[in-house]
Amino acid sequence: MTPAARLQAAIELLAEIEKSAKPADSAASAYFRDRRYIGAKDRRAVAETVWRVLRRKSRLDWWLVHLEHPDADNLTGQWGARARVLADLVFEGVQPDPELFRGAHSAYAPEPAERRVMDMLSEQKSIFHRDMPPHVRGEYPEWLTPRLTALFGERLVDEMGAMRDEAPVDLRVNTLKASREDAARALAKEDIKSTPTKLSPLGLRLARRVPLVQVQAWRDGLVEVQDEGSQLVALLTDARPGMAVADYCAGAGGKTLCLAAAMENKGRLVACDVAEWRVDRAGDRLRRAGVHNVTKRVIGGESDKWIKRAAASFDRVLVDAPCTGTGTWRRNPDAKWQLGETDLLELVGRQKDILASAARLTKPGGRLVYATCSLLAEENEDQIAAFLATHPDYEVVPVPQLWGEIIGGECPVPGPYLRLSPLGHGTDGFFGAVMERKAV
Ligand SMILES: C[S@@+](CC[C@H](N)C(=O)[O-])C[C@H]1O[C@@H](n2cnc3c(N)ncnc32)[C@H](O)[C@@H]1O
């Protein structure tokens, strides 16, 4: 592809992502599937531009308005995407020269009024400007400012700055097949450098992104992709060999795999979810990992009869609730631009119902772990407070009390809950609460 054709593809894909209700990576897969003529190298270059624009969208828009770009009043659709891509190009040190847009791509060449904006942009030393408000600097939706300010106070800009950057690739070592040292050695043989993660005893952080499907250690089930924070949440469930464990919102099995390894394949592990297609996707991963103590169960929601039948029969119940995903914005920068306040309110209602329903499964003396990959108190601490107010048979077990025995090393949070963030811990944003059902 010529540079102009790549730019055109980036503009089209950005507009497609904005229009589509799907996550950006699904929209990108669909876009490239329909255009098989775009080769792997070009796909990577186009995706790189699109993801960079998504990560700096607020700041690019701020500049376009500040410098009175002709489309600044309406930065939507193809024209909005085009204005952002061209501005991004300038911040990458490339002038959108008319020469670049010769022939078939001439419609994308900047017009004189836009050229003036591009010229002014190219004089800027930084994409930041002292007049940018915190939500523009931190690249998050303005409506979240009061909530995030209440959470982070003076650290707001730094915390959200850390959430802006690209996340590292973390792998969890499958202890059913290898120790962390063995897995690191196997990766090194394939020329893949990794370092042990600081908090999770199971994690390896890669020095660079690699296509894992081509990696033998991954194909052999020695490692799986899982953010360090997600590993810690699964570990805190403290699933042990011989226990009965329910992974209530198992999805495609990210945490199920970790629970099964902690159980050494012994005992009963039920992976539930309402979405059959997600549970189905867990199949290959479980096989690759050599896991054979998992029963998959698609439930019809909170009134599913199985929940009544299985009441009070699990030693551990993990609820990895559907959430806003505000802790994973490093990986999914588009998600923040699709999230609205009504989505948050709707999720809070669902989480409350799911937690109450899953709580019926815990044995007296057993533990219920509630987790989200959200930063927001409404989905986390407030959710637990409301649950405890209506469930006097449950009490919180402070995370620092469990950390040493289950995970080892110094507990990185004051407690009582696990609260992780990219700035504080180098992980995705995660929340975890451990509650014990009082023995009768
Ligand atoms: C955060 S994701 C789970 C991710 C998964 N635990 C992992 O580690 O890969 C939340 C999951 O909750 C599921 N879910 C949504 N509503 C549910 C409900 N009412 N009962 C059970 N699961 C539900 C979704 O289908 C989704 O797979």
Q: Are 233 and 220 within one domain?
A: no
Q: Report the nearest atom of ligand 1 relative to the CA of 278.
A: 27
Q: Are 218 and 244 within one domain?
A: no
Q: 280 labelled as ligand-binding? A: no
CATH code (residue 335): 3.40.50.150
How many helices (DSSP H) and strands (DSSP E) are in the chain? 20, 12
Beta carbon of 428 within 6 Å of any ligand 1 atom: no
Closest residue CA from atom 1 of ligand 1: 322
User: pTM (2 decimals)?
Assistant: 0.94
Q: Are 214 and 235 within one domain?
A: no
Beta carbon of 432 within 6 Å of any ligand 1 atom: no
pLDDT on residue 103: 64
Q: Report the nearest atom of ligand 1 relative to the CA of 372.
A: 1
Beta carbon of 285 within 6 Å of any ligand 1 atom: no
Is residue 388 in some structural domain?
yes
Is residue 404 in some structural domain?
yes
Q: Name the nearest CA neighbour of 9 among 210, 22, 98, 27.
A: 27
What element of type H or E holds 14? helix 3-19
Q: Are 31 and 55 within one domain?
A: yes
Q: Are 411 and 272 within one domain?
A: yes
Q: How high is the ipTM of this complex?
A: 0.99
Q: Are 65 and 209 within one domain?
A: no
Amino acid at 350: R
**Active-site residue among 249, 258, 323, 373?**
373
Q: Are 327 and 192 within one domain?
A: no
Q: Are 220 and 235 within one domain?
A: no
Is residue 413 in some structural domain?
yes
Is residue 330 in some structural domain?
yes
Q: Which tokens hold the place of 186?
A: 């196997």
Is residue 36 in some structural domain?
yes
- Residue 38 to residues 34, 82, 164, 234, 247, Cα–Cα distance (Å): 9, 20, 29, 39, 40
Q: Are 363 and 289 within one domain?
A: yes
Is residue 132 in some structural domain?
no
365 Cβ contact list (under 8 Å, min separation 6): 436, 437, 438, 439
Give the C-alpha separation, 202 to 418, whole Å. Answer: 18
Q: Is 373 a catalytic residue?
A: yes
Q: Are 54 and 35 within one domain?
A: yes
Q: Name the nearest CA neighbour of 320 among 423, 430, 424.
A: 430
CA of 342 to the centre of ligand 1 (A): 19
Beta carbon of 275 within 6 Å of any ligand 1 atom: yes
Closest residue CA from atom 7 of ligand 1: 254
**Which of 225, 242, 270 is the last residue before a domain boundary?**
225
Phi-psi region of 399 (alpha: psi -120 to 50; beta: other; left: phi over 0): alpha
The per-residue b/e assignment along 370-386, b for 16 or more CB within 10 angstroms, e otherwise, is bbbbbbbbbbbbebbeb
Is residue 277 in some structural domain?
yes
Q: Which tokens hold the place of 191?
A: 């020329």
Q: Are 362 and 236 within one domain?
A: yes
Amino acid at 249: C
Is residue 160 in some structural domain?
no
Q: Are 242 and 323 within one domain?
A: yes
Host domain of residue 207:
170-225
Closest residue CA from atom 17 of ligand 1: 274
**Which of 68, 92, 126 is the last residue before a domain boundary?**
126
CATH code (residue 11): 1.10.940
pLDDT in tens, the chain (440 residues): 888 889 899 999 999 999 988 889 999 999 999 999 999 999 999 999 999 999 999 999 999 999 999 888 888 888 899 999 999 999 999 887 777 776 666 677 788 888 889 899 999 989 999 999 999 999 999 999 999 999 999 999 999 999 998 999 999 999 999 999 999 999 999 999 999 999 999 999 998 889 899 999 999 999 999 999 999 999 999 999 999 999 999 999 999 999 999 999 999 999 999 999 999 999 999 999 999 999 999 999 999 999 999 999 999 999 999 999 999 999 999 999 999 999 999 999 999 999 999 999 999 999 999 999 999 999 999 999 999 999 999 999 999 999 999 999 999 999 999 999 999 999 999 999 999 999 87
Q: Name the nearest CA neighbour of 373 among 313, 312, 332, 416.
A: 332
**Which of 99, 126, 153 is the last residue before a domain boundary?**
126
CATH code (residue 196): 3.30.70.1170
- How many domains is the chain partitioned into structurally? 3
